[in-house]
Amino acid sequence: MNPISAPETVPSGAGSARHLYLPAAIAALGGLLFGFDTAVINGAIVFLKHQFGWTESQTEIGASSLLLGCVFGASLAAFTSDRFGRKRVLLGAAALFAASSIASALPRDLTQFVVARLVGGVAIGLASTLSPLYIAEISPARIRGLLVSVNQLAIVTGILLSYSVNYTLTRAGTENWRWMFASATVPSMFFLLALVFVPESPRWLVQQGRESLAEDILSNIAGREEARVEIQAIQSAIAGESKHLLHPAFRKPLVIAILVGLFSQFTGINTIIYYGSLVFLEHVPQQTPATALWASIMIGIINFLATLLGMYLIDELGRKPLLMSAFAGMGLSLVGVAAAIRTGISSILVLLLVLGYVACFAVGVGTGTWVLMSEICPTRVRGRAMSVATVFLWCGTLAVTLTFLSLVQLLTAPGAFLLYAVICFVAFLFVWKAVPETKGYSLEEIESRWIVQEKVRP
């Protein structure tokens, strides 16, 4: 597509940047709530564990309950988004975010807490699938990586916001964790109201036979002439493809999307996002709850800044180079973390190495994973394919979160981090050998490449 003109200089019949960037920003609020709700447990769990006297296993269940809901929500997104549309399902997710924020602040025991967090997990599963998918489906090819990365920026903003709220409420009494969870109610309600004003995905509308409305939406974004060209490309792609998710031409992109999602989690990033305060408190000398939460804020800041760098590089360097360099950097950083904790050299050194690990993840893996997953699968099955890949991603997150504290007891903290380092290097090799570059291609062009490859196979 041609560059999009600014609103104040748009001639008759041309598109407006406002009709692209505003819906993308609103959809990305799902990412902000995703980040906040997943990371708020980092600070709250220190106080929850103390107040309720949870064991290590109960602490893992409390932290992981949200993630089980995420798996279910991502599974639900598969058929709901293709049947009812991206917008309606995102509206449902926003309502669940609000309900869970209130419910998570009220529990009196582990069971009540788990149920409340399960509801929030369903919302995250839906939003984590559909926010990047929706943004990808309204974005021109030349800036699609940047715009989908806005969702990742929103995720890390939510993480940083939750860490800041947690630190602010550290001295707010023994039940300060209730306010930590309840604070997400305000952005949840704003997300729900803002979604009312965004259009439906034009690619989903074409899939439903509503070409006229889809053309109007694309015309607002890129102009009438570009809209007609895009509509024809979407129609051609839909007419020439199978509806079956496991059609031979689409198995490979689906497997790649699944494995990239799994590797992004099996490298251990959420051991820091969810348990970072406990790691610093229990495995780094001379730490208090306040200093551990302050370290989490530093992690959130680096995560945010590195994501900004990743957003700039994703359409400059491409998806594949960023993923490869990120996995390599994460592996080296984790080797350093393991050595620093084992020798007890310096708490500052441990923090710096953890910050390096988080920075590598944010620049390449955090940014590249969601972009690649949202664009690599075909239009007719994209909702289902994105959902399947996201389900596997959340299963990976659940597995890591549910086993980390037990793994530390079994292998020690250095041993656990060395295991994640090995997985980082395996992920590097996988991306190098199997992942294609999608930079600069339209969604229909990416799809046609898989079809051509299937046709020329012997």
What tokens were used for 61? 């269940």
Query: Looking at per-residue confidence, does 357 or 167 come out higher?
Result: 357
C-alpha to C-alpha distance for 154 and 25, rounded to whole angstroms: 9
Among 100, 75, 188, 91, smallest CA distance to 134 is for 91
Q: Count the helices and strands in the chain (H runs, E runs).
A: 18, 0
Q: Identify the CATH number of the domain in which residue 193 sits.
A: 1.20.1250.20
For the chain, what is the mean pLDDT?
Answer: 85
Q: Which string of DSSP letters, residue by residue, matches 134-200? A: HHHHHS-GGGHHHHHHHHHHHHHHHHHHHHHHHHHTTTS-TTHHHHHHHTTHHHHHHHHHHHTTSPP
For the chain, state the CA radius of gyration: 22
pLDDT digits (tens, 9 = 90+) for 90-131: 999 999 999 999 999 999 899 999 999 999 999 999 998 899
Among 156, 137, 176, smallest CA distance to 31 is for 156
Contact, 399 vs 63, CB < 8 A?
A: no
Kind plus residue range of the DSSP H or E element containing 284? none
Among 116, 134, 103, smallest CA distance to 30 is for 134
Task: Give me the helices (H) in 53-85, please.
Answer: 56-84
pLDDT digits (tens, 9 = 90+) for 35-58: 999 889 877 887 888 888 888 788
How many CA within 13 A on the CB side of residue 92? 17
The DSSP 8-state label assigned to residue 108 in this structure reads S
Contact, 372 vs 257, CB < 8 A?
A: yes
Residue 454 has pLDDT above 60, yes or no: no
C-alpha to C-alpha distance for 78 and 96, rounded to whole angstroms: 17
* pLDDT in the model for residue 5: 32
**What is the maximum span of the chain, computed from C-alpha positions, in angstroms?**
68
Structure pTM? 0.76
Query: Looking at the 3D structure of the chain, how many domains does it have?
Result: 1
* pLDDT in the model for residue 397: 87
* pLDDT in the model for residue 95: 97
Range of the domain at 115: 7-455
C-alpha to C-alpha distance for 98 and 84, rounded to whole angstroms: 21
Backbone φ and ψ for 30, nearest 5 degrees, come out as: -60, -35
C-alpha to C-alpha distance for 347 and 365, rounded to whole angstroms: 26
DSSP 3-state of 435:
coil
Among 195, 182, 169, 173, smallest CA distance to 37 is for 182
In this predicted structure, which of 150-154, 197-201, 290-294, 370-374 has the lowest mean pLDDT?
290-294
Among 373, 287, 359, 297, smallest CA distance to 328 is for 359
Could you tell me the pLDDT band of residue 4, with boundaries at 50, 70 and 90? very low
Residue 7 has pLDDT above 50, yes or no: no
Q: Considering the domain boundaries, does residue 2 fall inside one?
A: no
Q: Considering the domain boundaries, does residue 318 fall inside one?
A: yes
Could you tell me the pLDDT band of residue 285, with boundaries at 50, 70 and 90? low
Residue 383 has pLDDT above 70, yes or no: no
Q: Considering the domain boundaries, does residue 1 fall inside one?
A: no
* pLDDT in the model for residue 14: 55
DSSP 3-state of 14:
coil
Angstrom distances, CA of residue 83 to CA of 94, 205, 355: 18, 11, 42
Kind plus residue range of the DSSP H or E element containing 13? none
pLDDT digits (tens, 9 = 90+) for 224-260: 888 888 888 878 766 655 556 666 667 788 899 999 9
**What number is the average pLDDT over the span 368-374?**
85
